Structure formats: C-alpha cells, structure tokens
Chain A
Amino acid sequence: MLEVNGLVKRFGGFTAVNNVSFKVDEGEILGLIGPNGSGKSTIFNMLSGTLAPTSGSIVFAGHEIAGLAPHRIINSGIGRTFQIPRPFRRLTIFENVALAGFYGQGRHSRARAEEAAERSLAMVGLPTDRHASVDGLGAAGLKKLELAKALATAPKLLLADESLGGLDEAEMDQAADMLRNIRDELGITIIWVEHIMGVLMRVVDRVMVLDHGEKISEGLPSAVAGDPRVIEVYLGTDAETTQAAAAEARRRAGG
C-alpha cells in the first residue's frame, strides 16, 4: 500500500533522514521507533506533505506522492496526527472534526462532514455535542480529538505520531487498544511512531527502528526487541534499564 524508497531529507548540511526504504502492507500496524532526533517525525512530515523530501520516492496506492501539497496527500487517503495536539481553539470540538471531514475527504459536502464528525468522535469516545469547547479537554482528550480529526478525513493509511506522550499507564493502554480497534474495525492501515516501546510492541505487527536518520532494524516486535543493535543504540547505555525494558518488551510482545 505504501512503498518508500531511498528517502532523504537534508536541512542545510544536516541529514535528518538518510536513505530510508520501507514498505507497509494493507491492514498492518507498523511501529516506528527510535531515540529523539532519529528522524521519525521528519519521515512523518514527508509522508504527509508537511516537508518535501530532498530525494527519494513515496508511492501510495500506486501513485507517487513525494512533494505533493499536504491537502492533496490528505485527500488521497493519508491521515495524520501531530506529536503535540494542535486543536483549533476558535472552533468547538465538533467543528474541529467536521472541518477535517469536510476538507479532508476532498468531497466538500457538509452532510458527509457532519456524519464523519459524529462517527469519528464516537469512535474515539469524545462527546458528539455540537457546542462543547476544546478548552475543556485535558491531555488525553486532546489526543483523542487529534485522532478524531485524522479519522474524519477518511484515511486508508493513518500516521499516528507519538500519540501516547503525556498519558498515564491506563490511558496509554486504552489508546493502544483504540489504535488496534481502528485497524480491526475500520480496516485502516497504521504507522505508529512512539517513544514508549512496551505498549507499542504489544499492538504492532512489525517494527522499524531508526537511529540518526538511518534504518537499523526491522522485523517482528519480539525479534527487534532482542536485536543487540537496537538494545545498544535505541535503549541507551544504562545497561540495567536497557535489559529491563527489553525484557518487558519481549514479555508484552509475546503475551
């Protein structure tokens, strides 16, 4: 469904993403992990059109989309969330999502947009009341709103950017389950960028690990969690935490 080949992004002399290639199959959840500054968000920004790649190709559903304007990419069926929620505070919760439903589907029909808004809000568990203000939402609520906005654009591929930062453990599990539900019930393929390895490993089908803009490992969660390169590079130098995290990841992935 998505095929990325030799993707490169340079900012001046700095190479943020260096020759990364990967594939995403229809209906799978691909986890994308890596330390801060490893290029995860840059890849997301190129997939969603916020940044134009320096070189490389991104083929989505048979079409080259590298360098297209963001709204064209969104209309072609890729939805995204932002790492830090970016709600429109001048609009109500419902209007936020209806806006995405109106413009994101590329159909510009108000009735369809409102329908999509109700469906998406219900899916993520936010009130479908038309007057509720964004100001009342906490961290978890804002993440849900972010997800509802992306869902309202009727994506075939959802790019979920570090959607669990700032949540407690129960909320994290809930959010992870939600992503799996979105895949299972709506059939949406997902690429999920996340810092928190444990929760991610439980839900994803495959994991790709980045470091300094390069792909260093890819495969099943259990295999990647045991990869010494991943343990060394991604999980850092503190041996004890590293071991514990890897064990936790394996346990979760296995169970």
Chain B
Amino acid sequence: MMGQGRLAAWGIGLAALVALPFVYRDPYHLHILVLILIWSFAYTSWSMMGRFGLVSLGHGGFMGIGAYVTALLWNHLGLSPWIGIPISMVAAGALALIVGYPCFRFRITGHYFVLVTLALSGIVLQVITATRDYTGGSLGYTPNRTSGNKLLALQFDDKTTWYLIALGIWLFGIVVWHWVDRSMARYALDAISEDEDAAAAAGVDVTAEKLKITLLSALMTALAGAIYCQYQMFITPDTVSGIAVSLQMVFAAIVGGLFVSLGPTVGAIITILLAETLRIGFGTKAVGWDNLVYGVLLVLFIIFLPKGILGSLLDRLKPQRKVPRAHEQEAVQIARPGT
C-alpha cells in the first residue's frame, strides 16, 4: 500500500526531476543523468524477473537486439524507430519465448537456467560480430543522421529533450515494477520461486507465469537498448550486448537492491559513476577495470548485503513493523472470551 506521504514524496521528487534540465544545463552532467536513467530502466527490466530467482545472463542479448534491429531497420529500410522499436521488441520477445518455453516446460531452473541464458547472450553477440557486413561488427554501428523530421527519426540534438525522454522511460519502468508488485502474479512468482510443485498444486500454471514475466522483462530490455542507441547514435556489441552487459545488469540490480523499486536505479547510479570515474581518472589505462570492480563488489554484496544498498537502508530506516506471529494471535483469541 502506498501511503499519502509516500505518494507526495514521489510527486515532489518527480516534479524536481522534470524541472531540473530547465534550471541546470551543464551538458556533461545531463549526459550522465540520461545514461543513468536509461540504464536504470534496463536494470529495472532485468530485476522484473531477477527478483523471482529467474537470474538471466541473456539480457545483454535482448538489449542488443533492441539496439541493432532498430538501427538496422532505419539504415537499410528507412523504417522510422517509431516502427522499428516495436519490431525490435517483438523480435526480443520472440527470442525470449523460444528460449524460455523449453526451459520452463522442462524445469530448467537455478544454475542450469543461468547457463542457458548465458549462451543466449553469447550467441547474440556472435551473430552481431559475425554479420559485420551489416552490423559493422565489433567496430560498432551508427544510425544514419536524418536530414528530415527529427521527431520521426527519434533523433534530437539537445540534451534536455533526451533527458525528458529518458525520465519518462525510467518512470514507466518504475510504474510497471509497482504494477507487477501489487498483482496476483507477484504472489504466484514468489510461490514458484520457492516451490514449483506446491505452486502448481495451488492452481498456478507455472510455465505460463514464468513465460509472462520473462516476456515482459525482455520487451522492456529491448526498449532500453533501442533508446540507448537512439541517444548515443553509436553502438558496439560490447556496450549494448554480450555477457559483460548482462553481468553489469545483475551487478547493478543486486547492489542497488532487488526487492525495492528504486534498487536498480541506485545500482545504475553506482555503475555509471564508477565507470565515469575510472574513465576520467585513469583514462585508457583503466579499460575493463569497471568489470573487475563489479566482480569484487558483487561477491561482497551477495555475502554481506544480499538485499542491496537501498533494500538494506530501507530496512534500517523503517521501524520494524511488528507483525504479530500467528501463534501469538491464536493465544490472543483464546485468551479473549466470547470470540
């Protein structure tokens, strides 16, 4: 339940975020904020299924499909991103269903599921690199600059526009997160993550529920990839696809907090600031260092702070809501005569 106070806090926070680019115009800082918002959305998309124990290392693949399919359709067929993005999302969704269905139908869970999705990431990366005649391979790919309508091409020069688009996308991700969190599907998925047979005995169609959340997560991740591509106007397999990107999603979501809506956002703030600090501080000497830091931090967090930074912080701040244990309640009822 969202109280009045929390709703007001969200409202004020959002108003401040919308107003920000109109009073503060430093392009570099706005650039960082746009990146944080887009990646937050990608991490939130990952956490949609990650929070239910469906740990996917295939999301780099979905993000890559979102970015590359949109850009390829634009360059080769002249298809506007307004059509290209939905097509790329459908492509990522179809792939998610093709990989997800056999996994869920034949009960491939836990480590084995992680390995299957890892392979998915690798395959998408290989396909992008191998079809270098079209995708530019590991050198990267640039959508053609439009000479016509910028809105139709979804290409904007000013940072303020992009900031607002990214903010809208990010907010959309948070809203979807809350929508799932309050739905019966969340109960079902929590139940499935604990005990599939017992969930099935409660009438839950286990395969269908897992497929639905996987599909949602993949669609959103592809959207994140497409938006990232439109903003950066340059993509390489390593920045939007592949295992490194997948791992970065896992890292950010876990470090920020898997079970709170703003957890992945906190994760994005940390990953982006870390990457920027390393880039500015050490330059080309530090290429790949961020992955090293992610790895070490991930191990530390899983051991010492499994709820993530925001999750643990909220637990600390919130006075423990005293929930009467069931047996205490029974005792109360027995002690109360006439009930």
Return the chain A residue nearest B200 by Cβ: A70
A127 CA to B327 CA in the complex, in Å?
Answer: 9
Task: Verify B200–A133 contact, CB threshold 8 A.
Answer: no
Q: Which residue of A74, A86, A88, A129 is within 8 Å of B203 (Cβ)?
A: A74
Interface residue? A135 (CB, 8 A): yes
Tell me if B42 is interfacial: C-beta within 8 Å of chain A.
Answer: no
Give the CA-CA distance A135 to B203 in the complex, in Å.
23
A141 CA / B329 CA spacing, docked (Å): 12
Which of chain B's residues have a CB closer than 8 A to the CB of A49?
A: 200
B194 CB contacts on chain A under 8 angstroms: 88-90
**A88/B190 in contact, CB under 8 A:** yes
Q: CB of A153 within 8 A of chain B?
A: yes
Question: What distance in Å separates the Cβ of B267 from its nearest Cβ neighbour in chain A?
Answer: 22
Say whether B333 faces chain A, with CB atoms less than 8 Å apart.
yes
Given known contacts A129-B324, A136-B325, A136-B326, A108 and B201 CB-to-CB distance under 8 angstroms: no
Task: Tell me, yes or no, whether B330 is within 8 Å of chain A by CB.
Answer: yes
In the complex, how many residues of chain A place their beta carbon closer than 8 angstroms to a beta carbon of chain B? 45
Q: How many A-B residue pairs have CB under 8 A?
A: 112
- Are B326 and A141 closer than 8 Å at their CB atoms? yes
User: Nearest-CB distance from A167 to chain B (Å)?
Assistant: 15
The listed residue with most B CB atoms (<10 A of its CB), out of A110, A126, A132, A138, is: A132
The residues of A that contact B195 with a CB separation of less than 8 Å are 86, 88
Residue among B206, B325, B333 making CB contact with A133, cutoff 8 Å: B325
In the complex, the answer to whether A141 meets B187 with C-beta atoms within 8 Å is no
Contacts of A102 in B (CB 8 A): 184, 187-188, 203
Shortest C-beta distance, A91 to chain B (Å), equals: 6
Q: Do B184 and A136 have beta carbons less than 8 Å apart?
A: no
**Smallest Cβ distance from B77 to chain A, in angstroms?**
41
B203 A104 Cβ-Cβ under 8 A: yes
CB pair A149–B202 under 8 Å, yes or no, is yes
Give the nearest-CB partner of A109 in chain B: B184
A90-B194, A127-B333 as given contacts; A137 in contact with B326, CB under 8 Å: yes
A132–B326 CB distance below 8 A: yes
Q: Which residues of A contact B333 (CB under 8 A)?
A: 127
Chain A residue at minimum C-beta to C-beta distance from B202: A100
Q: Is B197 located at the chain interface by the 8 A CB criterion? A: yes
Q: In A87-144, which residues have CB < 8 Å from any B CB?
A: 87-91, 93, 95-96, 98-100, 102-106, 108, 110, 113, 126-127, 129, 131-138, 141
Closest residue of chain A to B191, judged by CB? A88
A147-182 to B contact mask, C-beta < 8 Å, 1/0: 001100100000000000000000000000000000
Contacts A69-B205, A91-B187, A108-B184 given; indicate if A133 touches B326 (C-beta within 8 A): yes
Contact of A48 with B by CB under 8 A: yes
Contact B201 A82 (CB under 8 A): yes
Do A113 and B184 touch (CB < 8 A)?
Answer: yes
Known interface pairs A74-B203, A105-B203. Does A127 touch B329 (Cβ–Cβ under 8 Å)? yes
Which residue of A71, A87, A93, A99 is within 8 Å of B187 (Cβ)? Answer: A99
Say how far A11's CB is from chain B's closest CB, in angstroms: 17
Tell me if B204 counts as interface (CB < 8 A to partner A): yes
Chain B residues within an 8 Å CB radius of A57: none
Contacts of A19 in B (CB 8 A): none
Could you tell me if A103 and B201 are in contact, using CB atoms closer than 8 angstroms? no
A115–B190 CA distance with the chains assembled, in angstroms: 21
Could you tell me if B191 and A91 are in contact, using CB atoms closer than 8 angstroms? Answer: yes
Residues on the A chain within 8 Å of B206, using CB: 71
In the complex with contacts A88-B198, A106-B203, A99-B329 CB distance below 8 A = no
B184–A90 contact, CB under 8 A?
Answer: no
Q: Which residues of A contact B157 (CB under 8 A)?
A: none
Query: Complex Cα distance A131/B322, Å?
Result: 10
- Contact A90 to B193, CB < 8 A, known contacts A71-B206, A127-B330, A132-B323: yes
- Asked if A153 and B202 make an inter-chain contact with CB atoms under 8 angstroms apart, the answer reads yes
CB of A99 within 8 A of CB of B323, answer no
Contacts of B325 in A (CB 8 A): 132-133, 135-136
Cβ-closest chain B residue relative to A130: B323
A217 part of interface (Cβ distance < 8 Å): no
The residue of chain B having its C-beta at the shortest distance from the C-beta of A105 within the complex is B203
Taking the complex as formed, is B328 at the interface, i.e. its CB lies under 8 A from any CB of chain A? yes
Given contacts A88-B190, A88-B191, A99-B191, contact A74 B201 (CB under 8 A): yes
B307-335 contact mask (Cβ, 8 Å, vs A): 1 or 0: 00000000000000101111111100100
CA separation between A74 and B327, bound complex, in Å?
30
Q: What are 14 A-B contacts with C-beta separation under 8 Å?
A: A70-B197, A71-B203, A74-B203, A86-B195, A91-B187, A99-B199, A103-B205, A108-B184, A126-B326, A127-B330, A127-B333, A131-B324, A132-B325, A133-B326
Given A71-B205, A86-B195, A136-B328, 5 new contacts (CB under 8 A)? A90-B190, A93-B326, A99-B199, A99-B202, A136-B327
